[in-house]
Structure 1
Amino acid sequence: MSSALAVYLTNEAPAAHWNPKSNVVFDGDAAKIVLVDDESENLRRIQKAGRTLDNNGLVKVAVSGDGWDMERQWALYQGFTSTLSKNDVVWHTGDAEAAKHLDAMRDATRFSRELTNLPAEDIYPESLAERVIEHFKGLAPDAISAEFIKGEALKDAGWMGIYTVGRASQHAPGMLVLDYNPTGDDNAPVDTALIGKGITYDSGGYSIKPSEGMLSMKCDMGGAATVTGALSLAIRRGLNKRVKLILCCAENMIDGRAYKLGDIIRYKNGLTVEVVNTDAEGRLVLADGLQAAGEFGAKNIIDAATLTGAAQMAVGNEYNALFSVDDSAAARALKNADKEHELLWRLPLASWHSENCPSAFADTANSRPQKGGGAGGASNAAGFLLRFAPEQGKGWLHFDLAGAYQKSATAMWATGATALGVRTIAATVQGD
């Protein structure tokens, strides 16, 4: 304990030699976080204090004194977490049950963040699948089986979205199907399918991104990392339902085999899609995942993706965006986000959004031929996915992860992945 800086909570205003707006002050070999009357603001103040402690060069702190509940400790951890995950928080010794839950959240979100933050040289479709399989076989070895369909086998299986987007890369595209089945019954129904966009690097293809836009595109598999972390956390919390994890993995690169604007993709369900923007590739791979979820007969379907800049423009980098045509499913997700203290906002999605990317040459286009997909880009992207969602979208939730990655450090977050959404999706998988 002596190697960690003790961090206390206080309701006393800072001493006169401190700025009265300071949210954390140092007092000898300890730090004190100054609270206010608003608890939601307190959680923000505590997280910001964690960033201050990290910025001051600390690598280990200990939660000390009175007033710490689980959420306050978690807020400190989120702020204090460094980009390279080298910082450590010692949980309060007075609440063993809270420490158990905090350990589960820390381990699951750390894995999610590490997957997202690793460079594309290390995380490509097959290596992503290998790391995820290894993680779950270490976590629940008797309940896990997995298959990775890659390269030409994708084409043979009819998964043309993933195949088309990823065929230009030296790293073969693939679909990981991981089955978590704790029931012991091979015929047990699939309660939930979790689908993640696993674009391990996104150059934009022939609709190429500018250099500054490509710098952070190792994070375009943040959806895959988020649903992976969510399943990991749900298992640690005692999940006893069968869940299929479907990761749609590809590098969106350019060579002589790359898909081009004007190409037509024919999907397994017969739908044809004209490519009007090769940088709107995430929805093309998720379409395969949604069809796979339908084949598995999943009762509930959740997909997560760093899908559109339009969602970020709408909700900023502090929230994730939620889309669904199932009001009861959306209400459950929003309730869980509130319970888990994660920011989530529902944006519009109606059945007619699926018609908002018309094509003269195919059933639909993958976007509009305008910058960012034009007005309503995030809803139109969700509308595209709705075409592939089983049961006309009943039981389906689409998370557009606007808050999954910070390109630079903020007052709340270190640079890189945040794992925002892991807790909400884990709670939604577990159900009431």
Structure 2
Amino acid sequence: MSRAMPVFLTTKAASSAVDSCWKPNNLLAIEQDSLHIAVGDDEAENLRRIQKAGRQIDNLGITRVSIQGQGWDIERQWALSLGFSNTHTSNEVLWHEAEPEVAEQLKQMRDTAAWTRDLINLPPAEMYPQSLADKVIQKFQQLAAGHIDVTVIKGDELLEQGWHGIHTVGRASVHEPLMLVIDYNPTGDANAEVSTALIGKGITFDSGGYSLKSSEGMLSMKCDMGGAATVSGALALAVQRGLKKRVKLILCCAENLVDGSAFKLGDVITYKNGTTVEVVNTDAEGRLVLADGLLAAEEFGAKKIIDAATLTGAAQVAVGTEYNALLSVDEALAAETLQLAEQQREGLWRLPLATFHKENCPSAFADTANSRAQKGGGAGGASNAAGFLLRFAPRQGEGWLHFDLAGAYHGSANGMWATGATALGMRTIAASLMQ
């Protein structure tokens, strides 16, 4: 086995920690075959510095590190792990030996985040609706055998059962669209209440349909199933932490492609609850499949509903890629979730959502359109998309959270993240399941 590079924390600036050849603002210094990360008094900034130092360590070509010395709590170790993650998740971290229970928690988090990231990073030739379903089913068969029931509704079966949104979006692909439902029920009671329904947008590739994306805009669209991967990873992490509540995982999976059978602008979809939707943008397809997921969650009687999706560019414009966006009309639940995100050290910012947002995509031919016939859906695109979903949320949105995953994927590496998926949001959603 290859040697692990020791990594220490120091309260001294790099220039004084080693020798005067280092600039005082360096994050990282090298001393006698070990690495030293300088930290200060601002803990939020410390975590950013440690994560950025992790990226620098990866860029040095190091593949294995060992966390040693004083000052390493769980969040500082996790920050290093986030930075020291390459695109292929082949780097290895040896956790601090002082607290074995903390090391085990970190191992679970890193392994589950790596699995989540790998799902998103796989090329579209390998990641299509059925393969996504197979990989998620396999994961939960390993984690919770005896506590799961699996249902796959595929192809024209979707029409027969009323799931018109998923079928409409995915019918042009040779890979049939599907809804995957995993019922995780550790209670032993077949009639147990569904504590939470998790809904993930599983668009395994998004060409934009007839509202065709540019080549540059399409390049990263293997990541459009990031919502499905994130909620699956969150449930996997919660199961490993001993989740005792019943959860329904609902993945709405399709490829949004073009052929003679593809849905077109001006088409009208009639949903299971009778709501009619005019398609004014085939590239606003994520909300069309999530609507089915929300209706399924209502049928299951879920007390709390969380959906996650790489839904809008507007969310990225609003919060950047260091945060995810949260939208909800349930004030208490939203406040609780923002607090959980802060505890989990994940960036989450609330964007506006009110009842009137349901009316912000009007149609003369249906109850609503799926967007506005403007570039990017016009002003307030993230809120208007959530307003569309609010039409399908049970109880007028009580108990419902919508995560617009602005930080799920980076098309190129930066000072904090490697190229590709991040799994940002996984910890917060897992913590919510444990509440």
Give the TM-score range, shorter chain. over 0.9
Choose the corresponding residue for 2:391, options 384, 387, 393.
387
Letter in 1 for 2:422: T
The aligned counterpart of 1:9 is 9
Deviations 1:242-284 (A, max 9, x none): 0000000000000000000000000000000000000000000
CA distance in 2 between counterparts of 1:107 and 1:330 reads 28
Superposition TM-score, scaled by structure 2 size: 0.98
Q: 1:121 aligns with which of 116, 121, 125?
A: 125
SS in 2 for 1:72: helix
Aligned residue runs from structure 1 range 395-410, under 5 A:
395-410=399-414
Q: State the match for 1:76 in structure 2.
A: 80
Which residue does 2:316 correspond to in 1?
312
Deviation at residue 379 of structure 1 after TM alignment: 0.1
2:304 equivalent to 1:300: yes
CA deviations over 1:297-325 (Å, ceiling 9, x no partner) = 00000000000000000000000000000
**CA distance in structure 1 between the aligned counterparts of 2:14 and 2:280, rounded to whole angstroms:** 57
The Cα of 1:168 is off from its aligned counterpart by 0.1
Q: Percent identity?
A: 67
Q: Pick from 25, 33, 53: which aligns with 1:29?
A: 33
* 1:387-431 deviation line (CA, Å, top 9, x unaligned): 000010000000000000011001000000000000000001110
**What does residue 415 of structure 2 align with?**
411
SS at match of 2:25: coil
Aligned partner of 1:41 in structure 2 is: 45
Structure 2 CA distance for aligned equivalents of residues 98 and 22 of structure 1? 29
Aligned to 2:253: 249
Q: Which amino acid aligns with 1:223?
A: G
The alpha-carbon distance between structure 1 residues 2 and 122, as it changes in their structure 2 partners (threshold 3 A), is: closer
Deviation string 1:125-146 (CA, Å, 9 cap, x unpaired) is: 0110010000000001010110
Q: Could you give the per-residue CA deviations for residues 335-367 of structure 1, whole angstroms, max 9, x where no partner exists?
A: 110110000000000000000000000000000
Aligned to 2:333: 329
How far the C-alpha of 1:2 sits from its partner, in A, is 7.2
**Aligned to 2:68, which of 42, 64, 82?**
64
Q: What does residue range 28-427 of structure 1 map to in structure 2 within 5 Å?
A: 28-427=32-431
- d(CA) in 1 for partners of 2:340 and 2:6? 32
Distance in 2 of aligned mates of 1:366 and 1:14: 54
Task: Note the alpha carbon deviations across 1:13-43, whole angstroms, 9 max, x for none.
Answer: 2232011110011112100001121111000
> Amino acid of the residue matched to residue 87 of structure 1?
N
CA contact (8 A) 2:2 2:64 kept: no
State the one-letter code of the partner of 1:10: T
Match for 2:177: what amino acid? P
How many residues align? The count is 431
Given residue 8 of structure 1, which amino acid in structure 2 is its aligned partner? F
Give the TM-score taking structure 1 as reference length: 0.99
Measure, in 2, the Cα distance between the counterparts of 1:264 and 1:185.
41
In the TM superposition, residue 170 of structure 1 has moved relative to its aligned partner by 0.5
| TM-fit CA distance, 1:123 | 0.8
Deviation by residue 1:61-117 (Cα, 9 ceiling, x = unmatched)? 000111100000000000001100000000001111110110111121111101000
Name the CA distance, whole Å, in 1 between partners of 2:102 and 2:219.
38
In 1, the alpha carbon distance for the partners of 2:227 and 2:136 equals: 13
AA aligned to 2:419 is: T
Taking the aligned partners of 2:107 and 2:41, their CA distance within structure 1 comes to 28
Whichever residue aligns with residue 230 of structure 1, its letter is: A
| Partners of 1:55 and 1:13 in 2: CA distance | 21
Structure 2 Cα separation of the partners of residues 104 and 203 of structure 1 = 34
RMSD: 0.7
Query: Equivalents in 2 of 1:263, 1:250: separation in Å?
Result: 18
Aligned-partner Cα distance in 1 for 2:412–2:209: 25
SS at match of 1:142: coil
Runs of 4+ in 1 over 3 A off after TM superposition: none
Q: Secondary structure, in 3 states, of the residue corresponding to 1:41?
A: helix
List alignment gaps of at least 5 residues for structure 2: none
- The aligned amino acid for 2:101 is E
Q: What is the rounded CA distance, in whole Å, between the counterparts of 2:14 and 2:115 in structure 1?
A: 37
Residue identity matched to 2:83? G
